[in-house]
A and B are shown apart, each in its own frame.
Chain A
């Protein structure tokens, strides 16, 4: 290895190390906080003097009762349902946009994008009133609907890009082979667009899972409160103690499903799946 390349490798390593540390240090700090007992939370050490799982025990079985478990259940349910519906609808819309020429196509795309341009905070007030009138306040549907609205535009854009990549001849070949348009969509297009579908699903899921603004405004009880909202209502053991340890523990727990989901779907996101379809 020449001196120049080793220098290059060294500087790359240095830069990457800095970035990784900067990105992961807060996570590490939260993890460390969650493992400290109440009396050492403020000691400022990265490695806890004494490892304790009290905080974790506390959020599942502590004085708050089952606030956290209920919230976890709500979060999972709402995020999964929102993801399923959003991806299914987006797939169909994106397919139409990618394949068909119909009047108003650009209007639909622009309108979808326009919706995503509103910051959530600007619609949350009206939604609060509206949901109370409609009886959707503090229900699962009350959160699923805004999550879908805000993720559909992105999902439609991502998926239509993936669908456009799939050669049209494949579908025509399927049609000639005797498939109905829906069969061609389900058996040829969707499997080939799988990486796109999973990418979209992850994005939608993360949005729904991490959302705080809608969750805190449109829910009030454990009926529909999701984890981010529930964490904010954590209280300390006494009036004068901050619930730092519990919050840290909850934050660690709440990232686990995301990590699992990404790990599972990452296997499905294989580049070059369409290789060999057509001679390019």
Chain B
């Protein structure tokens, strides 16, 4: 077990392209950290640099107290689970899992003991003498994990280990991963493009975009206090709604009405902003929490479509006027497909998560309630989150977010 430290680690290719632009990240011993971001954001490259499968162009990587920049993967005491599992097809499950130990010249009886122990944890005992070709997708995935577990390494690295499983199995295996990490207490870095996985699994989540880390924080912190538009739009499903808005005289002018400035943002300078509202910050006005009713805002929305999930309703409605635009939002939209980011496209649509008792129906006007205190405001130029203390546009969001600056969100919220 060991801590990991990335100091300004950079990956630059021969053609000058920087896949990873000087990221700083500290992972404590035994911590479970997720690297999440859209495809092409450099998260896998970062992981492969930690594994030693890619050279580090610049910066310093420490595992434990040692600088390992120039060490071969085999000397780093790491185990890695690959996206496509990379099982050795000519070996049985037992041989696959024991391969690393065999290379390390571990005693044969000891190998058997460790392999069977890992097989028990992963429920593979009955399949030890089969070849990977004869296993199901889920079993192969578990063998890949088993191969990492038997090593008892200092660090686990996982490169989208669940992305090849079908939806149901993925949820199952997700809890499995969590369970194993807790049981073993090994430091783990886990790469995924799926924000749900990131939110459910990690102690801390590092959101990456275009080779930089945007924010490192606990899942709750990321959700409640995203540092910029990108993090706000990437984390959460359905995604946050974004509107163009104006700040003036202590009020926020939203496309569907004026609301008082949230208490936490009082004192922010007037001007054009982008407002972000999470779907669950809306509610059917009739069902709005009583104690909030006075200080909040209600408006009539032409609901176009209602989707019932059983436990909740998603109501979609449009609004007049321009849509919020920002290159950060466009990036998310391009990665996820426009439909996933309402408000970021050209449609000016909003999704609201309502309680299942709501009477909202497709094609009907419904009175909605908005939790004013939970409106997020962002600078339209650099996408950074506005706070009472910060003047709009003073800090670029593209700057590297260190763990320290990543937790600024907490201070912002006040």
Check if B316 is an interface residue, CB within 8 A of chain A. no
Beta-carbon contact of A178 and B140 below 8 Å: no
The tally of CB-CB contacts under 8 A between chains A and B is: 86
Given contacts A179-B103, A180-B74, A273-B90, whether A278 and B84 have CB atoms under 8 Å apart is: yes
Which residues of the other chain, B, contact A177 by a CB distance below 8 angstroms? 74, 79, 99-100, 103, 147, 151
Contact code string B130-163 (vs A, CB < 8 Å = 1, else 0): 0111110100100000010001000000000000
Beta-carbon contact of A175 and B74 below 8 Å: yes
Of the residues A174, A179, A187, A192, contact of B89 by C-beta under 8 Å: A192
Whole-angstrom CA separation of A192 from B133 in the bound complex: 13
B side interface size, CB within 8 A: 31
A176, A274, A275, A277: residue with the most chain B Cβ atoms closer than 10 Å: A176
Beta-carbon contact of A277 and B88 below 8 Å: yes
Which residues of the other chain, A, contact B80 by a CB distance below 8 angstroms? 172-173, 176
Interchain nearest-CB distance for A181 vs B (Å): 9
B78, B90, B134: residue with the most chain A Cβ atoms closer than 10 Å: B90
Check if A92 is an interface residue, CB within 8 A of chain B. no
Given contacts A170-B86, A172-B82, A176-B74, whether A276 and B53 have CB atoms under 8 Å apart is: no
A177, A273, A275, A276: residue with the most chain B Cβ atoms closer than 10 Å: A177
Contact code string A82-102 (vs B, CB < 8 Å = 1, else 0): 000000000000000000000
Closest to B51 in A: A176
Of the residues A167, A178, A274, contact of B84 by C-beta under 8 Å: A167
Whole-angstrom CA separation of A191 from B99 in the bound complex: 14
Beta-carbon contact of A276 and B79 below 8 Å: no
Check if B104 is an interface residue, CB within 8 A of chain A. yes
Interchain nearest-CB distance for B335 vs A (Å): 22
Interchain nearest-CB distance for B68 vs A (Å): 13
Whole-angstrom CA separation of A183 from B103 in the bound complex: 9
Check if B358 is an interface residue, CB within 8 A of chain A. no
Interchain nearest-CB distance for B56 vs A (Å): 16
Of the residues A172, A180, A191, contact of B86 by C-beta under 8 Å: A172
Of the residues B82, B85, B89, B134, contact of A274 by C-beta under 8 Å: B89
Interchain nearest-CB distance for A198 vs B (Å): 14
Whole-angstrom CA separation of A144 from B59 in the bound complex: 52
Beta-carbon contact of B72 and A276 below 8 Å: no
Check if B250 is an interface residue, CB within 8 A of chain A. no
Beta-carbon contact of B137 and A275 below 8 Å: no
B74, B79, B80, B86: residue with the most chain A Cβ atoms closer than 10 Å: B86
Beta-carbon contact of B74 and A173 below 8 Å: no
Q: Which residues of B contact A (CB under 8 A)?
A: 51-53, 72-74, 78-80, 82, 84-90, 99-100, 103-104, 131-135, 137, 140, 147, 151, 164
- A selection of 25 A-B contacts at a CB cut-off of 8 Å is A167-B84, A169-B82, A172-B51, A172-B80, A173-B87, A173-B88, A173-B147, A175-B72, A175-B73, A176-B51, A176-B74, A176-B78, A177-B74, A178-B104, A179-B103, A187-B99, A276-B131, A276-B135, A277-B87, A277-B89, A277-B132, A278-B82, A279-B84, A279-B137, A279-B140
List 4 A-B pairs, minimum CB-CB distance, nearest first. A276-B133, A276-B132, A278-B84, A169-B86
